[in-house]
Amino acid sequence: MKEARFYKKNENDFVTCTACQWQCKIAPGAVGICGTRQNHQGILLSLVYGNAAAVHLDPIEKKPFYHFRPGSNALSIGTLGCNFGCDFCQNWDISQLSKEMQHKLQKKNNLKDLGIEVTKYGYDMSPMQIIEYCMQSDFDCIAYTYNEPTIFAEYALDTAKLAKQKGIKNVFVSNGYMTNEVIEEMSDCIDAANIDIKSFSDKFYRKHCKANLEPVLENIKTLYEKGIWVELVTLLIPGENDSSSELKKIADFIANISVDIPWFVTAFHPDYKLLDKPMTSGDSLSKAYDIGKKAGLHYVYSKNSWKNENFNTYCYNCDELLVERDYVEVRVHESLDINKGICKKCGSKIAGVWK
């Protein structure tokens, strides 16, 4: 546990958390929506600071990033908690666990022990310990992922700043609900962000994610304007967010920011509370891929299905194969000049962070 950085003190020991767009007004002893930020006598504590619930070395493509150092690995770190309540979450066992702890303790009128319960779960890893581990193991990238990094923004950004000093890259995998205050700090130390566009419907966000759409769209624009490399993901849930009209709205929104932003359309499988929907069909992935390309997007990828997957990166201008991917290997072809980020065949600039 550690005092949070992103909050404001109010009268009567109330505080306002300023890490994410909810900006929770938290009474003494109470906890924010994420289940990890608690008001202790007028001081907001991050209950998960220095406590990693999940630590793994992952291929960068798993995040997914296809235009950020392909073929490399990232030390992936997450904590308990999330500021969303997605009923289809595939990491619900850690993202929602702190909220379950919170509800159980509230029933016992013992919420003061939430920090103790949270810190029992996972690994004690300070920012400096993470950096030392990376240096010892020759890891040159850290991904803040698995749950929403905004809710452990102090932990993530303190780590990222130290990493930056050592030449280690940093990436966020996020739902895009951070405040501008957090984005300002991100712009100094976060190299790339993968953001979910879960739908283009506020009704969907309220129903399935317990959140709102507009802040996500605004933050995608802001992150891009700040010079952080951005890639976007939409999980296609049959009958919920996979209509042609909605997919076209998403594709057009991305194209209006930049046709160079990669868009992943990925397959849903029933999980957590959303168990009554079928898996996404290959035809649905193909439809979304075609819509993205027709909108003018240079790089559209579909994945998580055995059929109709588009893994490879091609030059948008001459269709030369630049990066070839399968389930176990990534091959950067000589046709891509990774030093200059250009297609050697036609000289077109291929957007991304290649080196």
Every domain of the chain and the residues it spans: 2-46, 51-313, 314-355
The pLDDT score that the predictor gives to residue 334 is 96
Distance from C-alpha of 206 to C-alpha of 196, rounded to nearest angstrom: 15
The pLDDT score that the predictor gives to residue 121 is 87
Please state the length of the chain: 355
The pLDDT score that the predictor gives to residue 81 is 97
Cβ neighbours around 202 below 10 Å, total:
12
* 118-138 as b/e: b if 16+ CB within 10 A: bbebbeebbbeebbeebeeee
Distance from C-alpha of 130 to C-alpha of 75, rounded to nearest angstrom: 9
Residue linked to tokens 């991100």: 186
**Pairing between strand 54-59 and 15-17?**
unpaired
Distance from C-alpha of 296 to C-alpha of 132, rounded to nearest angstrom: 44
**Pairing between strand 330-332 and 336-337?**
unpaired
CA angle at 25 for the pair 24 and 30, rounded to the nearest 5°: 95
Query: Measured in Å, how far apart are the chain's first and last C-alpha atoms?
Result: 37
Residue linked to tokens 């600071």: 49
**Pairing between strand 330-332 and 321-325?**
antiparallel
Q: Are 298 and 66 in contact (CB under 8 A)?
A: no
The pLDDT score that the predictor gives to residue 122 is 87
Predicted TM-score of the model (pTM): 0.96
Distance from C-alpha of 241 to C-alpha of 237, rounded to nearest angstrom: 6
Choose among 91, 59, 93: nearest CA to 76.
59
Pick the CATH number of 51-313 from 3.20.20.70, 3.40.50.300, 3.40.980.10, 3.30.530.20: 3.20.20.70
The pLDDT score that the predictor gives to residue 95 is 96
Choose among 327, 255, 257: nearest CA to 293.
255
Tell me which residues of the chain have a pLDDT lower than 70.
Answer: 305-308, 328
Q: Are 231 and 264 in contact (CB under 8 A)?
A: yes
Burial bucket for residue 253 (CB in 10 Å: 0-12, 13-18, 19+): middle
Give the strands of the sheet with 43-46, arranged side by side: 2-3, 43-46, 37-40
H helices present in the chain, as ranges = 92-95, 97-107, 114-119, 127-137, 153-165, 180-189, 202-204, 214-225, 244-257, 282-294
Distance from C-alpha of 23 to C-alpha of 150, rounded to nearest angstrom: 12
The pLDDT score that the predictor gives to residue 192 is 98
